Amino acid sequence: MRIGMSHVFEVLERTPRALRGLLGGLSDDWTLPNEGPDTFSPHDVVGHLIHGEKTDWIPRLRRILEHGPSQPFEPFDRFGFRAYATGMPIDALLGEFARLRAENIAILRGLRLTEDQLGLEGRHPALGAVTLGQLIATWVVHDLNHVAQAVRVMARQYRGEVGPWTEFLAILSK
């Protein structure tokens, strides 16, 4: 599927609701476990998404529109959320994510990006030349990736409890 802004909004608008439906009101037993060092718990996923809303997607999009490839993006600290998210209740994080995402969706809609603008280039500090369309497509896939990650980490809490059904539950073996 080619990038189309209507398709972009379909996912970006739903992610906060999907995560609230999945994680809202759950105990820490579901939301705090992770898969080991330098991995994310479902709680961390929401913190990470908040950090991206503040420092990644819209700032990079603006940098492309204003400066093109002449000013590379600021590096993104994927663990930069820990300073403020650690110890926050999951419901507070979900509310903050929903608020920030709504603001960023309004900004993105207000830009009324054209097909030509989606081809504008920026410079990623590690990847080199990237287009505005690639950045926006990555935003969508990044959301989907982290929703899947939260679900996978939660499922693995019962890895030892499902007994012989493990062979039929691919989420436990990948």
Read off the pLDDT of residues 70-99 as tens digits, 9 standing for 90 and up: 999 999 999 989 989 999 999 999 999 999
CATH code of domain 5-172: 1.20.120.450
Closest CA to 117 of 101, 103, 133, 106: 133
- Domain residue extents for the chain: 5-172
pLDDT attached to residue 2: 76
Read off the pLDDT of residues 8-21 as tens digits, 9 standing for 90 and up: 999 999 999 999 99
Read off the pLDDT of residues 144-174 as tens digits, 9 standing for 90 and up: 999 999 999 999 999 999 999 999 999 998 6
Structure tokens that stand for 107 in this block: 């900004």
Strands 121-124, 128-131: parallel, antiparallel or unpaired by DSSP?
A: antiparallel
pLDDT attached to residue 172: 92
With DSSP H G I counted as helix, E B as strand and the rest as coil, what are the percentages for the chain, rounded to 5? 70, 5, 25
For residue 38, CA distances in Å to 18, 35, 82, 105 come to 24, 8, 12, 29
Closest CA to 132 of 124, 140, 120: 120
CA-based max dimension of the chain: 56
Global confidence as pTM:
0.94
What's the CA gap between 48 and 77, in Å, rounded?
A: 9
Q: Do residues 29 and 157 make contact, with C-beta atoms less than 8 angstroms apart?
A: yes
Contacts of 63 (CB under 8 A, 6+ apart): 71, 73, 122
